[in-house]
């Protein structure tokens, strides 16, 4: 069994895989990392490999503790990947984007795939039908846009995303909701259409924390998969075992 650990900016995600099937997935605050790991190994003693993907430096002590339980692979730009990487500076490619590209490669190995991750930032990853990672785009995410408007103006409030009836906002709050949510929807549909114009039979996968919120709001046909990054990390662990 494999343990996949995704350490983000605000929380840690854990997933236990039996080969390529998710047995359980959980999350916690960073401070609870060691207690969560110990609990998972108590419940799933057959875990013999783990992969760590961290957006920041991972504490050496926590890494050493984890190695007491199983073999550990720390995902980096030196890790082997199954696809051809055509990014100009591969060492600057975020490890989360590497994992998403890997999942796309395995899920649709002979097709054109665009993965859109709705996280802190919105990222776009393109894998073509030759198994080549071409790159993509990065733009501000949902919460980042609300925070930017509040932090960089004197009177606009800090809002959370809510449904609105009309894209024409007749109050400051509704205008902000429309500007952010409708703006992201127009961006997503517009970007998807750009890719469709260039790549035939394009498969679009929407993932990340805000994926479900936007999946029903898009005009384009997409597949929503909130576990896509975790699945990509598990594929990478399997690929790097030998």
Q: Spell 96-126 as b/e; 16+ CB within 10 A means b.
A: bbbbbbbbbbbbbeeebbbbbbbbbbbbbbb
Phi, psi of 175 (to 5 degrees): -65, -40
57 is catalytic: no
Q: Is 120 annotated as a binding residue?
A: yes
Q: Is 96 annotated as a binding residue?
A: yes
Q: Are 65 and 37 in contact (CB under 8 A)?
A: yes
Q: Is 153 annotated as a binding residue?
A: no
Q: Is 198 annotated as a binding residue?
A: no
Q: Which of 96, 189, 197, 210 is catalytic?
A: 96
Q: Is 6 annotated as a binding residue?
A: yes
Q: Is 169 annotated as a binding residue?
A: no
Beta strand pairing call for 132-140 and 121-127: antiparallel
* Residue in this structure with the two tokens 């980096």, named with its chain if needed: 76
**Torsion sign, CA atoms 200, 126, 195, 122:** positive
Q: Is 47 annotated as a binding residue?
A: no
Q: Is 131 annotated as a binding residue?
A: no
Q: Is 81 annotated as a binding residue?
A: no
Q: At what angle do helices 33-43 and 60-67 cross, to 10 degrees?
A: 10
Residues within the annotated binding site for K(+)? 117
Would you please indicate which residues are annotated as catalytic (active-site) residues? 96
Residues within the annotated binding site? 6-13, 87, 94-97, 117, 120, 172
Residues within the annotated binding site for ATP? 6-13, 120
């Amino acid at each position: 069994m494999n343990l996949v650990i995704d350490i983000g900016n605000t929380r840690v995600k854990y997933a236990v895989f039996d080969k390529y099937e998710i047995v359980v997935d959980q999350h916690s605050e960073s401070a609870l990392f060691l207690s969560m790991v110990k609990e998972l190994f108590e419940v799933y003693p057959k875990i013999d490999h783990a992969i760590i993907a961290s957006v920041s430096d991972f504490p050496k002590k926590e890494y050493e503790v984890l190695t007491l339980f199983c073999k550990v692979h720390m995902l980096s730009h030196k890790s082997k990947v199954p696809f051809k990487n055509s990014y100009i500076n591969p060492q600057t490619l975020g490890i989360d984007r590497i994992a998403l590209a890997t999942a796309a490669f395995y899920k649709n190995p002979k097709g054109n795939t665009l993965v859109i991750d709705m996280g802190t930032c919105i990222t776009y990853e393109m894998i073509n039908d030759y198994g080549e990672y071409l790159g993509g785009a990065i733009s501000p995410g949902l919460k980042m846009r609300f925070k930017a408007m509040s932090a960089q103006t004197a009177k606009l409030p800090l809002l959370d995303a809510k449904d609105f009836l009309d894209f024409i906002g007749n109050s400051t709050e509704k205008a902000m909701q429309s500007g952010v949510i409708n703006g992201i929807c127009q961006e997503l549909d517009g970007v998807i259409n750009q890719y469709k114009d260039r790549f035939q039979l394009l498969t679009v996968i929407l993932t990340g924390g805000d994926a479900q919120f936007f999946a029903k709001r898009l005009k384009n046909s997409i597949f929503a998969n909130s576990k896509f990054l975790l699945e990509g990390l598990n594929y990478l662990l399997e690929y790097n075992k030998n």
